[in-house]
């Protein structure tokens, strides 16, 4: 039986979502270890990969259950007892052809930051940027909307069939001293969101012009390859159907 699970995790102590040969400290490795302890040997498949230090409030995974596991509430309870910094929010039966990654239609990332240094209780979960112009930030974010070749907005080293992605919507909101940037797209390349955030913030602080941002987005010239700090990034929602 194939199941779909919505999970959240604190990525602070992990080297990313994807399994790696060089370390066992990944979200995938931790979940598969917990599953194996419950006699579930299925690998998990995620809707997308997150970098080291990046969090999730709505990551979706799928895996296959042996016949003797039919009580999904009990399964969720047992997994949450065994896992640290990872929480199963929902587990539900899925169609046999459901695929957490390939069945997804939209992905939403949220970036959270402050303009003064976060406290010691926040610094693993909120990033820091110096004072900026919100109007310039909104203008910069709007540049990313639509379908573009993001070849100059991702880290290399991961095989991908195409660097073209469609961003349906961007948003910026400020609430009580916390700043939120949102990206909704059909998919993202490796570290694309972090690179877009930092480029937009450079425009918002006057360190880069909108023209330079457009030049990079149209693959004419690279003006920056820096990444926003991982602490403020959250994979927040996956949309299916």
Pairing of strands 55-64, 233-240: parallel
What Rg value do the Cα atoms of the chain yield, rounded?
A: 19
- 213-220 contacts: CB < 8 A, separation 24 or more? 213/140, 213/143, 214/143, 216/152, 216/153, 217/143, 217/144, 217/148, 217/150, 217/152, 217/153, 218/148, 218/149, 219/149, 219/151, 219/152
Helices (H) and strands (E) in the chain, counts: 5, 10
Is 138 in contact with 149 (CB distance < 8 Å)?
no
Degrees (nearest 5) of the Cα angle 58, 85, 228? 65
Known binding residues for substrate: 109
Please confirm, yes or no, whether 51 is among the known catalytic residues.
yes
- Cα dist. 143→155, 184, 198 in Å? 20, 14, 14
Known binding residues: 109
Residue of 10, 41, 51, 85 marked active site: 51
User: In whole angstroms, what is the distance from residue 154 CA to residue 196 CA?
Assistant: 9
Is 145 in contact with 166 (CB distance < 8 Å)?
no
Task: Return the residue matching tokens 């959270």.
Answer: 112
Active-site amino acid positions: 51
């Amino acid at each position: 039986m194939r199941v779909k699970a919505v999970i959240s995790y604190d990525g602070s102590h992990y080297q990313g979502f994807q399994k790696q040969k060089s370390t066992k400290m990944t979200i995938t490795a931790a979940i598969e270890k917990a599953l194996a302890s419950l006699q579930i040997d299925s690998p998990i498949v995620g809707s997308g990969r997150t970098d080291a230090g990046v969090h999730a409030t709505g990551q979706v995974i799928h895996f296959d259950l042996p016949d003797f596991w039919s009580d999904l509430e009990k399964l969720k309870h047992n997994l949450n007892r065994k896992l640290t910094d990872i929480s199963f929010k929902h587990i539900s039966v899925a169609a046999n052809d459901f695929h957490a990654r390939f069945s997804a239609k939209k992905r939403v990332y949220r970036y959270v930051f402050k303009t003064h240094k976060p406290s010691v209780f926040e610094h693993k979960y909120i990033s820091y940027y110096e004072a900026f112009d919100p109007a310039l930030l909104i203008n910069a974010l709007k540049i990313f909307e639509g379908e573009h070749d993001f070849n100059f907005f991702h880290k290399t080293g991961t095989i991908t069939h195409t660097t073209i992605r469609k961003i349906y919507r961007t948003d910026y909101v400020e609430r009580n001293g916390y700043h939120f940037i949102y990206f909704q797209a059909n998919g993202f390349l490796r570290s694309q969101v972090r690179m877009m955030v930092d480029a937009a913030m450079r425009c918002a602080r006057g360190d880069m012009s909108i023209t330079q941002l457009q030049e990079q987005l149209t693959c004419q010239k690279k003006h920056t390859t820096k990444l926003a700090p991982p602490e403020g990034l959250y994979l927040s929602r996956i949309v299916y159907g």
